[in-house]
Amino acid sequence: METRGVMSALDNIDHVVVLMLENRSFDSMLGTLYPKSQTFDGLAGNETNFDPHGAPMQVWSHIGTDEATMRIPNPDPGELWTDINTQLFETPNVPSPAPPATMGGFVKNYLMQENGPVGRDIMHYFTPDQVPVISALAKNFAVCDRWFASAPCQTWPNRWFAHTATADGHENNNPVHLPDVETIYNRFEQAGMKEWKIYFHDLAQCHTLTKLFLLSDHFHFYREFQADCQSGSLPAYSFIEPQYYPDLAHPENDQHPPSVVTLGEQLIADVYNCIRSSKLWNNTLLIITYDEHGGCYDHVPPPAAAQPEPPRPGQLFNFDRYGVRVPAVIVSPYVKTGTILRPPGAVPYDHTSVIATLRKRFPVLGAPLTQRDAVAPDLESVLTLATPDNEGPSHLTALPYAPTPATASEAYARPLNDNQKALVGLAANLPETPIASLQAHLVSMKAQVQQVPPELTTNVRVASAYVKKQVGNLFSSV
């Protein structure tokens, strides 16, 4: 592997692993990891929003780890671009350039959602005892309190930023889009570095990117990540997607509200344990983050951002500001215990910092993909140890959780969240039957993008079965 001219700890990193979970803000997951101070911008405990009648609702936490507590907020908060504008600015219509965000509209926006939400639930946060895995990793290695979602948008645009450094001009998941833009994985291919994999559980959102469609042999189920760690054969870059749909044996573990957060903790623990027990541990950098905040409260106003590219005609948003802060934990034996990571300059970390780090570690990947990753700070500065001396915990154990038959049945009957609906749309653009030519199918996909079939979004059971069938068709064709 090609390295840079000046040696640093980053040059000892041969394997970068990213686990991106769903829809939680920094304050909701890690706001009380440490006491609030000049060096850690967490919760003071008096942060407040007001309901439409002027009643104050303060941040709060509930004792215990019962299922109802670990599902807060329930129901799912709003996460459309207009919802997020309301959460940040208390109005859905925001001019460009935007005024300073008040962060005062979370409660009001949550009360606008369906299914009778309780306003204070959006102000809830988990304590380290309730999310012990991510908290232990954050304390034993590095936590970043200046990592923002790449845009104040839904899941899909933010995940696209992680792979392409742009959202291709789209603010929301729907209508279904299949961006035809260059990805960091294409750069690996162009450089002759075939060592990259996307690991997924039920469906890879990355398959929305058409320039990856013919590279589907790089997509693998999560069990292969476990096997690759055990055999010491991780690629240079691994991106892990969680499970988005529940099934009777394995509930969803993406942490998307109102999913049980403990299930995501179990996934984080497994990813860490697989790497920690591997012979590749000393040369691996693990980044755990979330695509966007999903409507959960955070008190830090997102700053202005570099536009990834000139806006397109008719584009509603110029992508000139970041989304809400999300949790980010950086794990490596080259990271000093107890690190609180801040960017070296005025530009905060965001998902394109992963791309910037990869390009810095592997110069053969070339120039920035867009103006956004051109200015993004990379993660070299977090690797402050000259030698891999931070062994970290030898093994992490998440809190137990197993669904009862009644809980599993209820999960199957639940309405779909916006991401699950959009993923049905992605599945609708996969082959209906195993086919001989993925190239021919790709041409068809580009010619006519299929939207979300309403009859397949009746409930999770119907959607999950359809997605499973379509994924099977795709991989029968690879």
pLDDT over threshold 80, residue 407: yes
Give the number of other CB atoms < 10 A from CB of residue 386.
10
Residue located via tokens 């910037």:
356
β partners of residue 143: 329, 340
Q: What is the pLDDT of residue 3?
A: 43
Mean pLDDT of 174-195: 96
Task: Quote the CA–CA distance of 23 and 77 in Å, as a whole number.
Answer: 10
At a CB cut-off of 8 Å and minimum separation 6, what does 284 contact? 13, 14, 15, 16, 17, 234, 275, 278, 332
Please state which CATH class domain 9-382 belongs to: alpha beta
Strand 196-200 to strand 56-58: parallel, antiparallel, or no bridges (unpaired)?
unpaired
C-alpha neighbours within 13 Å on the C-beta side of residue 84: 25
Closest listed residue to residue 317, CA positions, set 89, 114, 105: 89
pLDDT tens track for 244-279: 999 877 899 999 999 999 999 999 999 999 999 999
Mean pLDDT of the chain: 95
Q: Kindly report the pTM of this predicted structure.
A: 0.97
Token pair for 146: 């200046």
Give the number of other CB atoms < 10 A from CB of residue 258.
17
Q: What is the pLDDT of residue 27?
A: 98
Q: Are 203 and 472 in contact (CB under 8 A)?
A: no
Report phi then psi at 151, rounded to 5. -155, 155
Domain-by-domain residue ranges, the chain?
A: 9-382, 405-477
pLDDT tens track for 341-369: 999 999 999 999 999 999 999 999 999 99
Q: Which amino acid is at 170?
A: H
Angle CA(262)–CA(264)–CA(265) in degrees, nearest 5? 60
Mean pLDDT of 72-90: 97
pLDDT over threshold 90, residue 1: no
pLDDT tens track for 189-242: 999 999 999 999 999 999 999 999 999 999 999 999 999 999 999 999 999 999
pLDDT over threshold 90, residue 433: no
pLDDT tens track for 295-304: 999 999 999 9
Q: What is the pLDDT of residue 423?
A: 97
Q: What stretches of 362-437 show up as alpha helix (H) in DSSP?
A: 371-375, 405-413, 418-428
Q: Which amino acid is at 450?
A: Q
Q: What is the pLDDT of residue 6?
A: 58
pLDDT tens track for 106-118: 999 999 998 889 9
Token pair for 428: 């609708």
pLDDT over threshold 80, residue 96: yes
Q: What is the pLDDT of residue 409?
A: 83
Element (H, E) at 240: strand 237-240
